[in-house]
């Protein structure tokens, strides 16, 4: 969706949080003529954001196993939008759309059947999704020769993608700098402080603080929670996987997302806690063993990073936009799908800001609550 800069109001905007959603919104609103003020609690490399740690897979159908059809539909909407958005950025961002490969060991065939059943149900709900392909022998070897002698079958999900999250965060900052928009780093901000800013400047406040919004997302009790994810970043010159690969497993399901230059991001645990402490030995052992089981070349890989972040998550595990006060939007709950769906959320928020409508949000069934319960703020 493209909006004409000339027809838009140019009210000032304060954005809290310069992680994934904050940076995307700041960039697009700046391009469209708004003066944007941004505050972030962390540093420019995104050290306090989930966005920096994420694997940044754009895998709507693969995620059908753990989410609802509306999130899958947002992911499907977002894939071509990412291509457009990345093309407008001033620095390159690795973006790949060569599908996802799902693998399992013979003893986990039950998991594969369960997964295939979930794919089928999502496919029936969203018939425009590209059809999954069962792959065996020669076809599997054509797709990923590196795994063909260890696995004899798999499911290939065409058109799914991934991008390099750190390049994206960097390129978004460069784009903002080119427009003369600066971020105030190491500046944590509350919603009350943002409302003071709005009283003085007018315009809009967009709360994109991810898990940092927890104190201001409390009706009737704390409803925004963290879901801890631990990941490993490896340099594995002997591994030639070309596309995101997932291993189905009843206890240690993992994904391996190949970035450029033989860098692999592997993850992720899914633990119900806000704990941001370093990766546990158990998680590291499980992730690394599972990766070694997919490809022995990981045995000689070098561990570049073991990292933890928490996914900002609402009770239904779905994203939501809500308006606690006039021209104040809280955008949150992106959970494990921030990269997959953020272009859809971006376009829906900008549509609302500029025209007061929610056509896209309605179409994609994105929860967009513009009621203003007085107790929220
Ligand atoms: C291990 C892991 C793997 C993931 N893998 C994927 C994946 O493969 N695909 C996918 O689509 N998604 C993935 N995600 C999810 C994705 O990273 C998140 O959904 C997304 O980053 C959420 O975006 P956000 O902008 O809401 O929050 P964040 O990216 O966390 O950004 C929030 C920002 O707000 C700032 N902030 C916090 N408090 C304050 C304050 N008081 N004042 C000012 N600023 C503040 C923070 O510093 C941060 O920069 C993964 C997440 C994790 C943790």
Contact 25, 349 (CB under 8 A): yes
Whose Cα sits closest to atom 26 in ligand 1?
210
- Bridge pairing between strands 263-267 and 225-235: antiparallel
Entry pTM: 0.95
Contact 214, 224 (CB under 8 A): yes
Residue 336 Cβ inside 6 Å of ligand 1? The answer reads yes
Residue 19 Cβ inside 6 Å of ligand 1? The answer reads yes
Report the distance separating Cα 223 and Cα 314, nearest Å: 6
User: What is the mean predicted confidence (pLDDT) over 26-42?
Assistant: 97
Q: What is the pLDDT of residues 125-166, one digit of tens each?
A: 999 999 999 999 999 999 999 898 899 999 999 999 999 999
Report the distance separating Cα 12 and Cα 92, nearest Å: 29
Q: For residue 247, count CB atoms less than 10 angstroms from its CB and return exposed for 0-12, middle for 13-18, buried for 19 or more.
A: buried
Q: For residue 332, count CB atoms less than 10 angstroms from its CB and return exposed for 0-12, middle for 13-18, buried for 19 or more.
A: buried
Q: What is the pLDDT of residues 339-352, one digit of tens each?
A: 999 999 999 999 99
Q: What is the per-residue pLDDT for 270?
A: 93
Residue 229 Cβ inside 6 Å of ligand 1? The answer reads yes
User: What is the mean predicted confidence (pLDDT) over 217-230?
Assistant: 85
Q: Which residues contact 47 (CB under 8 A, 6 or more apart)?
A: none
Tell the residue number behind the tokens 């009621």, with chain if given: 371
User: What is the mean predicted confidence (pLDDT) over 55-74?
Assistant: 94
What average pLDDT does the chain have?
Answer: 93
**125 C-alpha vs ligand 1 centroid, how far in Å?**
29
Report the distance separating Cα 34 and Cα 206, nearest Å: 13
Position 44 pLDDT exceeds 70: yes
Position 376 pLDDT exceeds 80: no
Q: What is the per-residue pLDDT for 221?
A: 64
- Bridge pairing between strands 161-163 and 95-96: antiparallel
Q: What is the per-residue pLDDT for 10?
A: 85
Q: What is the per-residue pLDDT for 158?
A: 96
- Give the model's confidence band at 278: pLDDT under 50 very low, under 70 low, under 90 confident, else very high: very high
Residue 54 Cβ inside 6 Å of ligand 1? The answer reads yes
Q: Which residues contact 337 (CB under 8 A, 6 or more apart)?
A: 63, 67, 71, 74, 75, 319
């Amino acid at each position: 969706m493209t909006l004409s800069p000339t027809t838009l109001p140019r009210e000032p905007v304060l954005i809290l949080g310069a992680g994934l959603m904050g940076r995307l919104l700041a960039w697009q609103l700046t391009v469209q003529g708004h003066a944007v003020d941004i505050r972030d609690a962390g540093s420019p490399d995104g050290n306090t954001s989930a966005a920096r740690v994420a694997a940044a897979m754009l895998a709507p159908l693969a995620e059908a196993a753990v989410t609802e059809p509306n999130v899958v539909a947002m992911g499907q909407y977002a894939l071509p939008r990412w291509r457009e958005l990345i093309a407008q950025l001033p620095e390159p961002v690795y973006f790949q759309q060569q599908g996802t490969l799902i693998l399992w060991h013979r003893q986990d065939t039950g998991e594969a059947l369960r997964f295939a059943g979930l794919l089928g149900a999502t496919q029936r709900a969203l018939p425009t999704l590209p059809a999954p392909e069962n792959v065996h022998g020669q076809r599997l070897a054509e797709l990923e020769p590196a795994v063909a002698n260890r696995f004899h079958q798999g499911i290939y999900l065409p058109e799914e993608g991934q991008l390099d999250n750190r390049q994206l965060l960097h390129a978004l900052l460069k784009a903002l700098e080119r427009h003369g928009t600066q971020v105030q780093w190491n500046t944590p901000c509350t919603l009350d402080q943002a409302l003071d800013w709005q009283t003085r400047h007018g315009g809009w406040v967009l709360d994109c603080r991810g898990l940092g919004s927890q104190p201001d997302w409390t009706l009737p009790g704390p409803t925004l929670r963290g879901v801890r994810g631990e990941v490993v970043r490896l340099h594995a010159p002997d591994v030639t996987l070309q596309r995101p690969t997932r291993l189905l497993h009843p206890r240690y399901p993992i994904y391996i997302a190949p970035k450029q230059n033989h860098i692999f991001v592997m993850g992720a645990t899914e633990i119900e806690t806000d704990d941001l402490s370093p990766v546990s030995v158990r998680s590291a052992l499980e992730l690394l063993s599972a990766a070694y089981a997919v490809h022995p070349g990981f045995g000689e890989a070098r561990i570049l990073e073991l990292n933890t972040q928490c996914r900002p998550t609402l009770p239904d595990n779905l994203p939501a936009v809500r308006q606690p006060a006039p021209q104040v939007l809280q955008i949150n709950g992106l959970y494990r799908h921030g990269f997959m769906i953020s272009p859809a959320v971006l376009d829906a928020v900008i549509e609302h800001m500029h025209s007061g409508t929610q056509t896209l949000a309605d179409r994609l069934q994105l929860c967009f609550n513009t009621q203003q319960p007085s107790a929220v703020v």
